[in-house]
Amino acid sequence: MSKNNSTVPVYKDVTKSFEARVEDLVSRLSLEEKVSQLVYNSSAISSLAIPEYNWWNECIHGVARAGVATVFPQAIGMAASFNEELMYRVAVAISDEGRAKHHEFARQGDRGIYKGLTFWSPNINIFRDPRWGRGQETYGEDPYLTGRLGVAFVKGLQGDHPKYFKTVATPKHYAVHSGPESLRHEFDAKASIKDMYETYLPAFKECIKEGKAYSIMGAYNRTNGEPCCASPTLLQQILRDEWGFEGFVVSDCGAIEDIYEPHKVASSPEEAAAMALKNGCDLCCGRVFNTLLKALDQGLVSEEDIDTSVKRLFMARFKLGMFDPESEVPYTQIPYEVVNCEEHIQLALDMARESMVLLKNEGNILPLSKDLDTIAVIGPNAQSKDVLLGNYSGTPAEYVTVLDGIRRKVSSNTKVIYAEGCHLSDTAEGYWGAKATRGFAEAIAAAERADAVIMCMGISPALEGEEGEVAESDGGGDRTNLDLPGMQEELLKAIYDIGKPVVLVILNGSPLSINWAQENIPAILEAWYPGEQGGNAVADVIFGDYNPAGRLPVTFVKSLDDIPPFTDYNMQGRTYRYMEKEPLYPFGYGLSYTTFEYSNLRLNVDTIEAGESINVKVDVENVGSIAGDEVVQLYLKDIEASVAVPIWELKGVERIHLEPSEKKTVEFNITPRQMALIDEQGRCLLEPGQFRVYVGGQQPDRRSEVLTGKEVLSCEFEVTGDTLEIEY
């Protein structure tokens, strides 16, 4: 049959526009059929050959919950790479696997949950408080870094085909959402309009406007009194009117129920459903939209309201190629064999290596020799598979634990002794009177016989994560303190007292206040939840086959006493941009086995008119003897702002590789938008005055100077002319 045959319904005619096809298809649906498409597990409509479709899928660091898939480092670890290009490559690999799995499952009649092409990722909430259990899913505390990595991830997921989406990305949780988990269904996150536009919204804006994300997920909480999944301010005024969003909005799961139950903003399910739909939430992850027919009878919504959302959802499915022959859609040809293929396994290793952050290396104890006679590997995370994964993960075909990686790396003559030492979090006497220190004797015996000790400690997804998903958290998924839990610090001290060289590897998804370790342990490596290849990556760094260059995407505070209460969403006193207390480890911090020297920082001009950009260049040379990466960071400070502004802000990042004695010139462009401030009314203003530029491998703060022994370069420029209000 010809594609242009007049007997072909318009919605099946691939020569017609998607808009025409969507209009035709929706016109053929009954009201009941329309409503059946507004829930995440949308029904099949056999009369029109519409298969069932489950919209719920996850992929923050690999295709999740659908069997074997490549598991990359948890999002917070990938953020530590400070590598936009590598993040894009990871997202391309994830979307390859997502496409391959979707089509193979569909061919076998499996269209269930976690099998679709609409991924509810990335999580680009700002990790404003280290207690938040879901901070591990984010790209850290900085809006600029989060935005750059988020855009890269969105583009990698959605592809670059002129007609079809590879998958649909869904930045979440929009907006002003970062705990507490135990209060999320009832909490009202109160944020000033300045904090909104300065901190909480920029990454979402960039993922929508630059990344072209076609979906966005609303949050559970209220923001300034409005439920996020029914907020006229967030969903209409900002998202659609200001940013021009044309895709669809999905609720977080159960969030529309929350509108009438814990939030008590609506008085019934029908009223909550109507409120969400009319304010721009198109898809319900939950059951409440099943009441829309009653809401229609009660005059709370119109059929036109329902049509608007149904059309948005079908537009996404058409753009994914779900109603076109496979021969028309190039992504259908991705073979199933791409899942966890060798190329993706290597990419997981590459990202895990780049995520490693060397926090301390006193006396250059690292790298260790592979030819030591005996190495003791001690700690509750040494042989743990769970700490490789973090939450929202797939299932690796192979788990490489830290202990596995070390055993593979050392020479055949090196003996590796393993002892767990203690449980991750036990502190008290347990079953049959077993004490929490019961493993100390074995650990001490191992350490006494070793030439060096590698301690593998930290936390795990059993201690931090999403509400209801965490087995051992006493904070409902959040953390109530930042210390090493259980008897870990006591074990660390006991091993340290033996007098052997100690390397501490911490595996975690959020900051730890390891103050004693920083004072006493000579070498500390931050490994995050490093993915399926994590053990190999850790071993590569410890034994010198990879020179670490990761940087912290989140501040490690010394104590919870140094930051505001968890429920306070005011940014003052939080993150490196506003925090006045000295941190344990600053944002942007990380060490290397080699030394990089910065020189010749220059601007193309030192005075510009308001509205012009400015070019910054700096020379970076590897003056050490080991090849490695350097993360070049540019921070900007508005010296003469008329309102309170951040202390300084990251405005440029480039990760470069340099051989010994190699020098490169790194170039940045500072745009008018990057120079602009947000005033108390939320206006984006570029004011005349002095600005200071800092460039180096770290922040320009005193703590970074102390930890690295280096200072960053700086220079100033002046903006002249009148104050400009520019596009946010």
On the 0-12 / 13-18 / 19+ scale of CB atoms within 10 A, 595 is middle
Contact (Cβ atoms closer than 8 angstroms) between residue 195 and residue 226: no
Contact (Cβ atoms closer than 8 angstroms) between residue 180 and residue 187: yes
557 and 521 share a domain? yes
Token pair, residue 476, equals: 């409902």
Cα 329–Cα 331–Cα 334 angle in degrees, nearest 5: 135
Contact (Cβ atoms closer than 8 angstroms) between residue 244 and residue 254: no
Phi and psi angles of residue 617, each rounded to the nearest 5 degrees, phi first: -130, 150
- Percent of the chain clearing pLDDT 70 (strictly above): 99
Which among 506, 553, 537 has a CA at the least distance from the CA of 351?
Answer: 537
CATH label of the domain that carries residue 542: 3.40.50.1700
What are 325-359's pLDDT values in tens digits? Answer: 999 999 999 999 999 999 999 999 999 999 999 99
292 and 425 share a domain? no
Which among 474, 457, 455, 456 has a CA at the least distance from the CA of 465?
Answer: 474
566 and 686 share a domain? no
What are 709-728's pLDDT values in tens digits? Answer: 999 999 999 999 999 999 98
- pLDDT over 70 at 431, yes or no: no
**What is the mean predicted confidence (pLDDT) over 387-410?**
98
Phi and psi angles of residue 638, each rounded to the nearest 5 degrees, phi first: -85, 110
What pLDDT, on the 0 to 100 scale, is given for residue 433?
67
Token pair, residue 281, equals: 């939430």
Helix, strand, coil fractions of the chain, as percent rounded to 5: 35, 20, 45
Does residue 263 belong to any structural domain of this protein? Answer: yes
What is the side-by-side order of every strand in the sheet holding 188-189?
Answer: 188-189, 222-223, 226-227
**Domain residue limits at 30:** 17-43+186-192+210-319
Contact (Cβ atoms closer than 8 angstroms) between residue 54 and residue 283: no
**What is the mean predicted confidence (pLDDT) over 415-423?**
97
SS3 state of residue 343: helix
Lowest pLDDT segment from 109-113, 465-469, 522-526: 465-469
SS3 state of residue 604: coil
Query: Which DSSP letter does residue 507 get?
Result: E
**What is the mean predicted confidence (pLDDT) over 654-659?**
98
Does residue 327 belong to any structural domain of this protein? Answer: no
What are 581-593's pLDDT values in tens digits? Answer: 999 999 999 999 9
Last residue of a domain, one of 578, 613, 632: 578
Tell me the catalytic residues.
252, 464
364 and 499 share a domain? yes
CATH label of the domain that carries residue 258: 3.20.20.300
Q: How many residues does the chain have?
A: 728
- pLDDT over 50 at 702, yes or no: yes
356 and 492 share a domain? yes
Which among 622, 631, 635, 648 has a CA at the least distance from the CA of 589?
Answer: 631
Last residue of a domain, one of 578, 604, 635: 578
What are 172-181's pLDDT values in tens digits? Answer: 999 999 999 9
Last residue of a domain, one of 533, 551, 578: 578
| Cis amide prior to 367 (ω within 30 degrees) | yes
What pLDDT, on the 0 to 100 scale, is given for residue 473?
74
Does residue 117 belong to any structural domain of this protein? Answer: no
Does residue 388 belong to any structural domain of this protein? Answer: yes
What pLDDT, on the 0 to 100 scale, is given for residue 428?
79
Q: How many domains does the chain have?
A: 3
Does residue 697 belong to any structural domain of this protein? Answer: yes
What pLDDT, on the 0 to 100 scale, is given for residue 470?
85
SS3 state of residue 275: helix
What are 588-646's pLDDT values in tens digits? Answer: 999 999 999 999 999 999 999 999 999 999 999 999 999 999 999 999 999 999 999 99
Which ranges constitute the DSSP H helices of 283-439? 292-297, 303-319, 342-355, 386-389, 402-409
DSSP letter string over 436-480?
A: TTTTHHHHHHHHHT-SEEEEEEE--TTTSSSTTT-SS-SBBTB-S
On the 0-12 / 13-18 / 19+ scale of CB atoms within 10 A, 58 is buried
What pLDDT, on the 0 to 100 scale, is given for residue 724?
97
pTM over 0.95: yes
Contact (Cβ atoms closer than 8 angstroms) between residue 195 and residue 570: yes
Query: Which DSSP letter does residue 201 get?
Result: S
How far, in Å, CA of 364 to CA of 543, rounded? 12
How far, in Å, CA of 287 to CA of 269, rounded? 9
681 and 720 share a domain? yes
488 and 402 share a domain? yes
- Percent of the chain clearing pLDDT 90 (strictly above): 96
Please give the distance of CA 693 from its chain centroid, rounded to a whole number. Answer: 27
Token pair, residue 292, equals: 């829309």
What pLDDT, on the 0 to 100 scale, is given for residue 1?
36
What pLDDT, on the 0 to 100 scale, is given for residue 3?
46
- Residue for token pair 């190999």: 536
363 and 511 share a domain? yes
**Residue 619 CB neighbours (<10 A):** 15
Does residue 356 belong to any structural domain of this protein? Answer: yes
CA atoms within a 13 Å half-sphere pointing along the CA-CB vector of 643: 15
pLDDT band at 2 (very low <50, low <70, confident <90, very high): very low
CATH label of the domain that carries residue 667: 2.60.40.10
535 and 607 share a domain? no
Please give the distance of CA 238 from its chain centroid, rounded to a whole number. Answer: 23
564 and 613 share a domain? no
**Mean of per-residue pLDDT scores for the chain:** 97
- Residue for token pair 């008329």: 642
718 and 682 share a domain? yes
Which among 610, 491, 537 has a CA at the least distance from the CA of 388?
Answer: 537
How far, in Å, CA of 638 to CA of 9, rounded? 60
Does residue 138 belong to any structural domain of this protein? Answer: no
How far, in Å, CA of 15 to CA of 328, rounded? 11
How far, in Å, CA of 337 to CA of 345, rounded? 13
What are 269-326's pLDDT values in tens digits? Answer: 999 999 999 999 999 999 999 999 999 999 999 999 999 999 999 999 999 999 999 9
562 and 622 share a domain? no
Which among 367, 377, 356 has a CA at the least distance from the CA of 545?
Answer: 367
